[in-house]
Amino acid sequence: MPGLKVENADLEHIVQTSDEWISTRTGISSRRIAVAETMLDLALAASRAALGMPAAPDDSVSIESSGEAFVDIDPASIDLLVLTTISPDVIVPCNAAALKKLLGLDNAIAFDMNAACTGFVYGATVADAMMAASHLKGGSVPARNVIRRALVVSAERLTHVTDWQDRNTCVLFGDGAGAAVFEWKDDAPGIISSFLKNDDDDTNALTCKQSYTSAFPFDESGVIYDAEAKAAHDAAHPDASDVSYDYINALGLSCDPAAARIDALFDIENKSAQGGPDQVIYMNGQKVFKFAAKAMEAAVRKVVEDGGITIDQVKLIVPHQANLRILEFAAKRLGVTLDSFQVSIAETGNCSSACVPMALTDALVSGRLEPGDYAVLVAFGGGLTSGAILLQV
């Protein structure tokens, strides 16, 4: 996790809130904030731990490492890297390509995925499906990349897409990363069943827009220019290969002529008009809350049933950590106690897609999950995505 730990009481200096409100309504006591660490730094530390590599000597990110508990995995044996995030460092290259290089995964294909907070469950399901497809036998199956080992990493730097004026959201989020290696074995079940679902987010309950900041020199009638100003600019800068920003800005170019339509489509309030940041998470907490417990129950029941076992055979449910009260509701709906859930939210907050692999690591490190145990990973998030995986550790 990133170096800076911020307690609930610290947030009282920023917004009208209290430790009491945050802890009783959410179960969160503190969260980690990536100040100078990038999303990739977090992903790298979690991946190194999952591969059993020692932490890098200059690593500022402390990971609750389960790495030493596992055998060292040769980086060259990883055939696939899936990185899930809603807070990427860059749009291109895919962040997974940079991670692959840093880890020395010479033989891996690598790509990013975004399924909001359900990212790890989607990523692991895609990895599993690619592994299974590549091991199908028979003439009708076309040749494809053979994948025996897949590294699925989820990393988030949510506190940089957080509106720190908005107490409804800013007390909830944290930064972090988690990772797991999935290995194909003909004689072991591994992932037994999985289930993914998208419900329409009719009320746009969870959104964060992409802010395009580059001036755009076109409108519907064509190129925006000023011939006289351009000639004067060229005369003043005879050796310049590019025009200056002064000239471009003087044209009054729009950054994104479709911005208002995007805001309207997703019901996004324009924060920059009020002097605030535009690229921040908006959430109707109650809408998501209502969706969450039901979606978790349905997904858990589906994978357990499809896996041919019963809920009481599941050693541990490893859920997305958005709110302790959501987990309590989900437990009640499933007819189990909260003890059946891995609860890690107190010291992490909501780290979106990273929550499930971080909680999985906690469960493995603490010994709550041991080889042979049945575990269900379950999550929900923007989109509205939801899903679960039944696996045998």
Residues annotated as catalytic (active site), given as ranges: 117, 320, 350
One of 61, 80, 147, 322 touching ligand UT7 (CB under 6 A): 322
Question: Is the Cβ of residue 65 or residue 118 nearer to ligand UT7 in the bound state?
Answer: 118
Q: Does 168 bind ligand UT7 (CB under 6 A)?
A: yes
Smallest separation (angstroms) from ligand UT7 to the CB of 385: 10
Question: Is the Cβ of residue 18 or residue 244 nearer to ligand UT7 in the bound state?
Answer: 18
Return d(Cα 7, Cα 348) in angstroms, integer.
10
Q: Does 277 bind ligand UT7 (CB under 6 A)?
A: no
Q: Which stretch binds ligand UT7 (CB under 6 A): 14-22, 48-56, 143-151, 219-227?
A: 14-22
One of 17, 66, 85, 193 touching ligand UT7 (CB under 6 A): 17
Smallest separation (angstroms) from ligand UT7 to the CB of 350: 5
Q: Which stretch binds ligand UT7 (CB under 6 A): 40-48, 77-85, 263-271, 285-293?
A: 285-293
Q: Does 123 bind ligand UT7 (CB under 6 A)?
A: no
- Residues in the chain, total: 393
The mark string for 229-258 relative to ligand UT7 (x by CB under 6 A, - otherwise) is ------------------------------
Smallest separation (angstroms) from ligand UT7 to the CB of 24: 9
The mark string for 328-367 relative to ligand UT7 (x by CB under 6 A, - otherwise) is ----------------------x-----------------
Question: Is the Cβ of residue 84 or residue 193 nearer to ligand UT7 in the bound state?
Answer: 84
Q: What six digits make up the tokens of 166?
A: 């908005």
Q: Does 290 bind ligand UT7 (CB under 6 A)?
A: no
Smallest separation (angstroms) from ligand UT7 to the CB of 35: 21
Question: Is the Cβ of residue 17 or residue 95 nearer to ligand UT7 in the bound state?
Answer: 17
Instruction: State the residues that interact with ligand UT7 by CB under 6 A.
Output: 17, 21-22, 25-26, 117, 167-168, 171, 206, 283, 285-286, 288-289, 292, 322-323, 350, 381
